[in-house]
Amino acid sequence: MTIHIKMPKLLPNMERGKLVAWVVDEGEVFEAGDPLYEVETDKVVNIIEAEMDGLMMKHRYEEGDDVPVGAIVAEVGPRSSKPDWLRVSYNGSAIKNVSNILEENRLTTVCEEANCPNIGECFGNNTATFMIMGEKCTRGCKFCNIERTARPGQLDPLEPIRVADAVRKMKLEHAVVTQVARDDLKDGGAAHMAETVRQIREINPETTIEVLISDLRGSYEALEDVLAADPDVLNHNMEMPKEWYRKVQPQCNYEQSLNVLRNSKKISPNTLTKTGFMVGLGESDEEISNLMDDILATGCDILTINQYLQPSSEHHKLARYVTPEKFNEYEEMAREKGFKYVVAAPLVRSSYKAAEAFEHAKAKQA
């Protein structure tokens, strides 16, 4: 449902008003009482407030325009609505085919558990990110849809073999394996991840392997164990600027996550490193730029940037939907800073088109 915001008649003799400034940009969400835009009448600037919660879909006029009274200034939608650029279609038969292989091997994907918007495209291309060590996480970050538990259960020693077999059946050229955080384990699950890499390599020697790991509780030795298995890409997501850690993922540590990337290069200089973060939490462009600088200082090769999508009303409140044009600006900013490969778009996730990212970064590394 689209609602039209019209230029109000602020004075008895008012026929037009000058739109001085937009306070809410396209893609941003707002609440009743929030200022939407500023209008000048008779040299007095008036602030026009929202009458209800909503999402700013489209500006009909630009700043500086003279707008007739009653003209539609903007189009807004319900707060729960999504912009057109976030709408996706699903390939039902492809999803079923991959799901059957996963079910047969008693495996879980982060695609399903985290409600990834790219599940249709990735499953349609016979791509999946295997999630190992259980379906529940010990962290419970306020942006994530994966269920939290203090006792996730015992590791399955046969899981690495089943993952390797699924990679074979799906004929994957590039396999991505991720994990839930396992703070109940001394090594954070490093040995289990390393064994999974080894099993994939043994059964699928031509397949390149990417691991998306937790911070492994900050253990240098655990990180050494994972890298000793020789994955082609070591991925650890920074997720957000430093200023937002305490509010959104209080069980994580910004410097500890940077150290995962930094130490990976120290331990295995030729292994590509990768990270990703999301936007839409409420962060500023300055915070994003500083985050990029901190990441680049670790020697990280590949960067992904995506839109935060609020899983439920219990999760961190969405601040804005970032436009594709703004994502292009972020991508250009990162490229200018010196990252080997950058992909920034609303529906990008850290493992989205991972094979393509690997090939591009590897070529630049050479």
Residue with tokens 């699903």: 90
Q: Which two tokens stand for residue 96?
A: 């079923």
State whether the Cα torsion 237-240-246-249 is positive or negative: negative
What CA–CA distance (Å, rounded) separates 228 from 122?
A: 29
252 is in an annotated binding site: no
Task: Give phi and psi for 196, each to the nearest 5.
Answer: -65, -45
What is the number of residues in the chain?
366
137 is in an annotated binding site: yes
Task: Please check if 122 is assigned to a binding site.
Answer: yes
Annotated binding residue 300: no
111 is in an annotated binding site: yes
Identify which of 75, 144, 119 has the alpha carbon closest to the alpha carbon of residue 310: 144
307 backbone φψ class: left, alpha, beta (φ>0; ψ -120 to 50): beta
Q: Is 116 labeled as ligand-binding?
A: yes
| Surface-to-core class of residue 191, CB atoms within 10 Å of its CB (0-12 exposed, 13-18 middle, 19+ buried) | middle
> 331-363 as b/e, with b when 16 or more CB fall inside 10 Å?
bebbeeeebbbbbbbbbbbbbbbbbebbebbbe
Query: Residues forming the annotated binding site for [4Fe-4S] cluster?
Result: 111, 116, 122, 137, 141, 144, 351
Query: Residues forming the annotated binding site?
Result: 111, 116, 122, 137, 141, 144, 351
